[in-house]
Amino acid sequence: MQLEVKGLKSGYGKVQVLHGIDLTVQSGAITTILGANGAGKSTLMKTIGGHLPIIEGEIVHNGQHLNEIGPLHVCMAGVGLVPQDKNVFAELSVRDNLQASAAAFEGAEERVAEVLKRFPILQERGNQLASTLSGGERQTLAIATALVAGPDILLLDEPTAGLAPIFVDRIVGWVEELAQDGTGVAWVVEQNPEKILAISEDAYVLDAGRVTEVLKSKSLLEPGRLEEVLLQVHA
Ligand SMILES: Nc1ncnc2c1ncn2[C@@H]1O[C@H](COP(=O)(O)OP(=O)(O)OP(=O)(O)O)[C@@H](O)[C@H]1O
C-alpha cells in the first residue's frame, strides 16, 4: 500500500518547480518533508494530489498509476490531500463540508457519522459555518474531510502552521494513531518540526525542487543536526 514517486517533474505553466523527485511513503509510517520557503514542498503535495500537470515521472500507489487522473480519482484511489490553505468550503457548515467530501463514496452518511465520532469538536460545531471556526478547528475539519474518504495514504501540507500548541499536540496525536492503524502519512513541516520528527520514520530534505537528503527522522533530533542539514542546502 505504499506510494512511490519516481523522477517527478512539474510546475506552473512554463515555470518548472520540481526537477525529478523520488519519494516513498510507506504505509503505517510518517514521512516528514522539510525544506526552506519555496523549496517545492507544496508543489510536490499538489502534484501528487492531482492538482498540477506532470511534466515527467511517475506516481504509483498500490500498483495503480496516478498520473493525470485528476484530484477526485487520486482521492478515490486512496490518496488524500490536506492542502495548506483553501482546504475547507468557508461558506458551508461543518457538517455540509463533510457531506460534500463524502458524497462521491458509498455509505456517505456512515462515513460522516464515523468522522464526527472521532472528532467531538466537529460534532459540537456541526451547524457552524467553516468561516467562523478557529484556526485549529478549521484545520481539524480539513483533516476530517480528507478522512471521510478513508485514505490509505494521507498528504498533509503544514497542518499545524500557526496553530496553538494544544491543537498541534492534538493533530500530532491523531496522525500518530492513523499511522499506527496502517495509514501512510507524508507530512510537510516548516516550523517546529521536532514533534513530528519524533514520531516519523524518514525525513526528506528538499531544496530548489530536488531531494537533497533522505535521513532517519530521529537523527535530526540530535542537537544542532536539523540546523546543519537545513543550512547545508543553502551553502
Ligand atoms: N501558482 C504558482 N504559479 C507560479 N509559481 C508558483 C505558484 N505557486 C508556487 N510557485 C513557485 O513555486 C516554487 C515552490 O513553491 P512551493 O509553494 O511549492 O514551495 P514550498 O516549499 O511549499 O514553500 P513554503 O514553505 O513557503 O510553503 C516557488 O518559487 C513559488 O514561487
- Return the pLDDT at 36: 87
Query: Quick check: is 15 in a domain?
Result: no
Which CATH number fits the domain that encloses residue 38? 3.40.50.300
- pLDDT tens for the chain, 235 residues: list them: 699 999 999 999 999 999 999 999 999 999 999 998 899 999 999 999 999 999 999 999 999 999 989 999 999 999 999 999 889 999 999 999 999 999 989 999 999 999 999 999 999 999 999 999 999 999 999 999 999 999 999 999 999 998 999 999 999 999 999 999 999 999 999 877 999 999 999 999 999 999 999 999 999 999 988 888 887 755 5
Query: Quick check: is 127 in a domain?
Result: no
Query: Quick check: is 9 in a domain?
Result: no
Determine which residue's CA is closest to atom 28 belonging to ligand 1. Answer: 38
Per the structure, the count of domains in the chain is: 1
Query: Quick check: is 194 in a domain?
Result: yes
Determine which residue's CA is closest to atom 13 belonging to ligand 1. Answer: 38
Closest CA to 185 of 218, 143, 227: 143
Q: Is 180 exposed, middle or buried (0-12, 13-18, 19+ CB in 10 A)?
A: exposed
- Return the pLDDT at 226: 87
Query: Quick check: is 130 in a domain?
Result: no
- Return the pLDDT at 1: 67
Closest CA to 117 of 162, 81, 147: 147
Query: Quick check: is 44 in a domain?
Result: yes
Query: Quick check: is 80 in a domain?
Result: yes
Query: Quick check: is 7 in a domain?
Result: no
- Return the pLDDT at 176: 96
3-state secondary structure of 184: strand
Say how many Å lie between the CA of residue 231 and the centre of ligand 1: 19
Closest CA to 41 of 201, 211, 226, 176: 211
Which residue of 19, 42, 207 sits with most ligand 1 atoms within 8 Å of its CB, as the best mutation to test the pocket?
42
Range of the domain at 218: 21-88+138-143+151-227
Say how many Å lie between the CA of residue 35 and the centre of ligand 1: 12
Residue 235: how many other CB atoms lie within 10 Å: 4
Q: What is the ipTM of this complex?
A: 0.96
- Return the pLDDT at 77: 94
